[in-house]
Amino acid sequence: MADLTELPRRSIWYGWGDPAHVKPLPTGGWPLLKFLGRVEPAARDTPPVALEDVRLPEVHLSDAARAQLVAVVGDEHFSTARLDRVEHTGGKSYPDLYRLRTGDGSRAPDAVVFPGTSQQVCDLLAACVEHEVAVVPFGGGTSVVGGVDPVRGRFSAVISLDLRRLDAVVSVDSLSQTAVVQAGARGPAAEAVFQRHGLTLGHFPQSYQQATIGGYLVTRSAGQASSGYGRFEENVVSVTMATPTGELVLGGRAPANQSAAGPKLLDVVIGSEGLLGVVTEATVQLARRPQIEHRETWALRDTATGFAAFRDLAQQLGHGIMPDVSRLSDHNETTTVMAQAGLPGMAGMGLVRARGWREPALAVFQIEDGDRASLRFRRKKLASVLKRHGAVKLTDSIAEHWMAGRFRGPYQRDHLMDRGVLVETVETATTWDNLEHLYESVQSAIVETMGRGWVQCHVSHLDGGGASLYYTFMASAESDPIAQWQRVKTAAGDAMIGAGGTITHHHAVGTDHRPWIGEEIGDGGIRILRAIKAELDPTGVLNPGKLIPDEGA
Amino acid sequence: MADLTELPRRSIWYGWGDPAHVKPLPTGGWPLLKFLGRVEPAARDTPPVALEDVRLPEVHLSDAARAQLVAVVGDEHFSTARLDRVEHTGGKSYPDLYRLRTGDGSRAPDAVVFPGTSQQVCDLLAACVEHEVAVVPFGGGTSVVGGVDPVRGRFSAVISLDLRRLDAVVSVDSLSQTAVVQAGARGPAAEAVFQRHGLTLGHFPQSYQQATIGGYLVTRSAGQASSGYGRFEENVVSVTMATPTGELVLGGRAPANQSAAGPKLLDVVIGSEGLLGVVTEATVQLARRPQIEHRETWALRDTATGFAAFRDLAQQLGHGIMPDVSRLSDHNETTTVMAQAGLPGMAGMGLVRARGWREPALAVFQIEDGDRASLRFRRKKLASVLKRHGAVKLTDSIAEHWMAGRFRGPYQRDHLMDRGVLVETVETATTWDNLEHLYESVQSAIVETMGRGWVQCHVSHLDGGGASLYYTFMASAESDPIAQWQRVKTAAGDAMIGAGGTITHHHAVGTDHRPWIGEEIGDGGIRILRAIKAELDPTGVLNPGKLIPDEGA
């Protein structure tokens, strides 16, 4: 069983997690990248600047505003210290990290507050309204779409409201398999409590070790095992949210999807990205912790064959029988995953190449279950579908290797950035009939705008209707890497929308996807969001610059 | 396989469906009701009055308003005819039917319009705004909570907008297993098209034969197989809705639950009960049509043992493995279901009584699957859980009998009303830890306010978090049966809210549950609904008197 309760230290300001965990590429990694012909590491490392060399703007908070914020949380939980401001300057996208590594702290908030109760959150919001200070809710700070950027908007100052002190698992109900959790609890800390009750949230996104319950909720996060446990939003029973116009409590009179008392208003708050209020607490639906985690590795002739096989898995096996995690790598990702898996990966590639498959696609699965008989049944069903598509079984250790490293991806990015490599991920989703078209459109857009570089993709989060596509791309950083990043990001986003996909499957909107939100949800959608925002946050202090386009935009 | 494509004629104005289908109680039905000591049929039938004897109010529509409505839909699709007005006077709750049967048509709309395109729906709404006419969207007219009552509100006239002409299945996508369906299509008609593609919507509420796609959507309907296919709302991919301020299209860029582009705004429209706009079209997620439907009947020692067994089913087997339909009858409902099942039921009762079980609880299941091996596996899992709770297997024919009659309940009510019996259903849901408490609270409230009568209940719609409770109650009608009905309804609603349940699991809010909506969703929820309503329907012409409390209430 994977250790899902490991709680590393919070992310270092210029990278991911505990820098002691940053691992160089495995032997052969750099030669492979070069061999693939695409990514040239810099001749020498370009480490981040020292903390004291990050250029920070002056603090703009008025004395009156500062005094009132301090009055709410106490002196020790109000900070304008350099490290606190730098740590809240942004999320963890490539541009976020690049700016800080090169000493650009111009986006830092004026101050950071650390409330200890939901009442304090309410009082902080009231103070921000009174003193016209923008306020950015901050959980794990793992946004890769600018979701926690301290944008001032029309206000003269902006503070970051960090929820880390609201980190309790308030209660667990073993009968209903639910838990009340404060918003600032990080995934592994909450999961440790759930597991002591024989339960699990089953929500394990790549950001899992750093991100928080509140962050999962306001971004509509999807974990790697979403086929088994559902997206985070499907498991929200109730939410408590502080707003500038009072505290809201929604849901809680029935299980997550068991009421018809008007529209499901929980879904107004879920995905609201801190623009409507600050989620302080949620009741979440848990499930029995599985006794068994079984992994399998398969290869398919090519990516298109993999698409067809995955569609059949989702539509023929259905929820509860299909694997909890299913992931199909396109040929490029197959190459890197196999290389990272070492000898078993090389052996696997040899095996499939021997069949004459020139561009094989790797599929890894995890089945979680409570008993052996059930596992056997589900494995048999899985194999029967895959074999109909000519799939070949490889050693399970490749899937094991992938699963063992599944929270390590962001660490590897830090190493690549040290060597002057631009690396980023983008993701989308669509229906099965449109999957291949969307896959090729986004792939082409990235390749064409990135120039020399490497792009790989996988399919995951299957259901009967469709699946998501997740791309990773890398290139040697140019002289202006942020312009380079923006060029590719814009092309990818345009391609997603142009080819009928969603602008984001689980990364949310933030600042970075805001240019496409109008095309995604239409004028009607924008009007609905604005109407709710005007009701709950009439002065607009909450998280300016994200999600909802400015009037007239 | 049950015939799910049977489309009976639309409901007669004073009852349910085609009166030719009304069946008297089976032999022994009346003696049983009497024996149970509770319900005394009237000495002779009290049939409904003749249509021409229904008292209708004058038509209040101005000439200008009438002219503009006619201009939109054409003369033949605008009606003030007696039958049309009577048919749109309300839904199918006991009070709705009682009033019409006794000649009270005072709530009839001033006119009925039958638009043929979504553009006509938009134009009708514009006309209603211009002439200050309230407008009530009308699908199958099966609401049992006053959802289609022609309430005038602050307006001088009210029309019913019947969507029956918008009944096409526009397209089916076999790859993504989705379909685009117009809102006025009735369940069986749409299902007939889906089945020709080897697909099913899997949505079979008791109102199935009369209700429409649009009705399912705006009421957050749950079908009997919700454990297998999910609630209707979980299978909505996109919605087109006409509003007084223009047409909205929400969703459609990803499968139903595969986007993180801000809050899931589809869930603002789903459950909006015609207060925000008129849904004209939806894309729905389908699933493979099962090849096998297998039914099983079991008995448990008593209702409490049944609750515990059902909780284990939902939490240990999980979605996809647990039966698609699971229904546990309390002791009272067990008595009537067994009696209606004839000889196999009597034999079953004998068998469990012989074990010394004085108040056994019946459990019926349906498993739908694509192959025999999978069915065997699921049956084995089901049996293993039930046996741990000491359940006894009875002949499958009892479950078969129940399933065969599952759309017939409302017909039986017509027969009971002929004999002067008050009969109604109420439903709620809660978490497993609270189920027994809620069950007893509502049961007591009904028994205490109804006096001499009969009440029975079943548990269904299980998931890991909880389940719903569905009560049927009957009593000999008093001299003022509507006051009698209101007394019980109020007590049941107060008990639901008092004991922590939801005011409705799948019947929606309408007029009848509006007194409790504030306690259900809180001030914050009301504020959010009002803000959206003000944006989309600023003059408030759409469906007054439902869902959202009046300002100051």
B86-125 pLDDT tens trace: 999 999 999 999 999 999 999 999 999 999 999 999 999 9
Q: How far is B78 from chain A (nearest CA, A)?
A: 29
Q: Pick the residue with more confidence: A197 or B341?
A: A197
Name which of A267, A318, A381 is nearest B264 (Cβ-Cβ).
Answer: A267
Mutation choice for A interface testing from B171, B253, B264, B514 by most A CBs within 10 A: B253
- The backbone region for B341, taken as left when phi is positive above 0, alpha when psi lies in -120 to 50, beta otherwise, is alpha
Tokens encoding B36: 């149970």
Mean pLDDT of A479-500: 98
Q: Pick the residue with more confidence: A408 or A84?
A: A84
A75: which DSSP letter?
G
Mean pLDDT of A447-473: 96
Residue A1 pLDDT exceeds 60? no
As a whole number of angstroms, the distance between CA A96 and CA A544 comes to 18
CA angle A533, B518, B553 (to 5 degrees): 95
pLDDT, tens only, B165-219 = 999 999 999 999 999 999 999 999 999 999 999 999 999 999 999 999 999 999 9
Residue A2 pLDDT exceeds 70? no
Average per-residue pLDDT for chain B = 95
How far does Cα B459 stand from its chain's mean position? 15
Tokens encoding B394: 């009875």
Q: Between helices A343-354 and A396-404, what is the axis angle to 10°? A: 140
Q: Is A46 annotated as a binding residue?
A: no
Tokens encoding A179: 């838990």
Tell the residue number behind the tokens 């022609």, with chain if given. Answer: B150
pLDDT, tens only, A498-514 = 999 999 999 999 999 99
Residue A252 pLDDT exceeds 60? yes
| pLDDT for residue A118 | 97
Tokens encoding B134: 């309230």
Chain B residues within 8 A of A219 when measuring between CB atoms? 260
Ranges A61-65, A75-79, B355-359, B368-372: which has the least confidence: B368-372
Tell me whether residues B528 and A536 touch, CB distance under 8 A.
yes
Q: How far is A440 from chain B (nearest CA, A)?
A: 17
Mean pLDDT of B236-246: 98
Tell the residue number behind the tokens 């096989």, with chain if given. Answer: A309
As a whole number of angstroms, the distance between CA A280 and CA A275 comes to 14
Residue B249 at interface with chain A, using a CB cutoff of 8 Å: yes
Q: Is A169 annotated as a binding residue?
A: no
Residue B105, helix vs strand vs coil: coil
| pLDDT for residue B35 | 62
Tokens encoding A178: 């639910």
Q: What percent of chain B has pLDDT over 70?
A: 97
DSSP alpha helices (H): ranges in A451-548?
Answer: 481-498, 517-536
| pLDDT for residue B40 | 81
pLDDT, tens only, A355-371 = 999 999 999 999 999 88
Q: How far is B176 from chain A (nearest CA, A)?
A: 5
Tell me whether residues A262 and B272 touch, CB distance under 8 A.
yes
Query: Which parts of B33-109 are beta strand (E)?
Result: 78-79
Fold of A292-404: Alpha-Beta Plaits (3.30.70)
Domain ranges of chain A: 292-404
Catalytic residues of B: 470
Tell me whether residues B431 and A261 touch, CB distance under 8 A.
no
Tell the residue number behind the tokens 């069983």, with chain if given. Answer: A1
As a whole number of angstroms, the distance between CA A454 and CA A117 comes to 46
How far does Cα B424 stand from its chain's mean position? 12
Do A406 and A24 touch, CB atoms closer than 8 A?
no
As a whole number of angstroms, the distance between CA A397 and CA A359 comes to 21
pLDDT, tens only, B426-440 = 999 999 999 999 999
B369 DSSP β-pair partners: B292
Taking only residues 534 to 553 of chain B, the set having a beta carbon closer than 8 angstroms to any beta carbon of chain A reads: 534-536, 547-548
SS3 content of chain A, % helix, strand, coil (to 5): 40, 20, 40
* Single-letter amino acid code for the residue at A38: R
* Single-letter amino acid code for the residue at B182: Q
Do B205 and B211 touch, CB atoms closer than 8 A?
yes
pLDDT, tens only, A424-441 = 999 999 999 999 999 999
Residue A490 pLDDT exceeds 70? yes
pLDDT, tens only, B211-223 = 999 999 999 999 9
Nearest-CA residue of chain A relative to B271?
Answer: A263
Tell me whether residues B267 and A264 touch, CB distance under 8 A.
yes
Chain B residues within 8 A of A508 when measuring between CB atoms? 260-262
How far does Cα A450 stand from its chain's mean position? 23
B21: which DSSP letter?
G
As a whole number of angstroms, the distance between CA A163 and CA A168 comes to 11
Nearest-CA residue of chain A relative to B245?
Answer: A524
SS (H, E, C) A210-266: CCEHHHHHHCCCCCCCHHHHCCHHHHEEEEEEEECCEEEEEECCCCCCCCCCCCCCH
Do A86 and A108 touch, CB atoms closer than 8 A?
yes
| pLDDT for residue B2 | 58
DSSP code per residue over B199-238 = EE-----TTTTT-BHHHHHHHT---TTHHHH--GGGGEEE
Residue B248 pLDDT exceeds 70? yes
Residue A205, helix vs strand vs coil: coil
Q: Long-range contacts for B67-76 (Cβ within 8 Å, ≥24 apart)?
A: B68/B127, B68/B130, B68/B131, B69/B111, B69/B113, B69/B124, B69/B127, B69/B159, B72/B113, B72/B115, B72/B120, B72/B123, B72/B124, B72/B127, B73/B113, B73/B114, B73/B115, B73/B116, B73/B120, B73/B124
Residue B272 at interface with chain A, using a CB cutoff of 8 Å: yes
Do A181 and A152 touch, CB atoms closer than 8 A?
no
Chain A residues within 8 A of B497 when measuring between CB atoms? 253
Strand order across the A178-182 sheet: A169-173, A178-182, A278-285, A236-243, A246-251
Sign of the torsion formed by the C-alpha atoms of B278, B281, B286 and B292: positive
B282 DSSP β-pair partners: B181, B239
- Would you place residue A31 in the very low, low, confident or very high pLDDT band (cuts 50, 70, 90)? low
Tokens encoding B99: 């009033």
Measure Cα distances from A312 to A78, A384, A387, A432, B48 in Å. 54, 11, 11, 10, 54
Mean pLDDT of A525-534: 98
Pairing of strands A287-288, A199-200: antiparallel
Tell the residue number behind the tokens 């197989």, with chain if given. Answer: B225
pLDDT, tens only, A121-180 = 999 999 999 999 999 999 999 999 999 999 999 999 999 999 999 999 999 999 999 999
Residue A522 pLDDT exceeds 80? yes
Mean pLDDT of A529-545: 98
Q: How many residues does chain A have?
A: 553
Task: Work out how many CB contacts closer than 8 A connect A with B.
Answer: 322
Q: How far is B130 from chain A (nearest CA, A)?
A: 21
Name which of A176, A500, A508 is nearest B431 (Cβ-Cβ).
Answer: A176
Measure Cα distances from B248 to A269, A498, B199, B534 in Å. 21, 20, 28, 15
As a whole number of angstroms, the distance between CA A185 and CA A163 comes to 8
Q: Dmax over Cα atoms in chain A, in whole Å?
A: 74
A136 DSSP β-pair partners: A160
How far does Cα A457 stand from its chain's mean position? 16
| pLDDT for residue B325 | 96
As a whole number of angstroms, the distance between CA B2 and CA B292 comes to 11
| pLDDT for residue B37 | 63
Is the pTM here over 0.90, yes or no? yes
What is the ipTM for the molecules in this complex? 0.97
| pLDDT for residue A381 | 95
SS (H, E, C) B314-370: HHHHCCCCCCCEEEEECHHHHHHHHHHCCHHHHHHHHHHHHCCCCCCEEEEEEEEEC
- Would you place residue B409 in the very low, low, confident or very high pLDDT band (cuts 50, 70, 90)? confident
Average per-residue pLDDT for chain A = 95
Query: Which parts of A150-195 are beta strand (E)?
Result: 157-162, 169-173, 178-182
As a whole number of angstroms, the distance between CA A205 and CA A222 comes to 6
Tokens encoding B6: 């049977």
As a whole number of angstroms, the distance between CA B468 and CA B428 comes to 6
Do B453 and B473 touch, CB atoms closer than 8 A?
yes
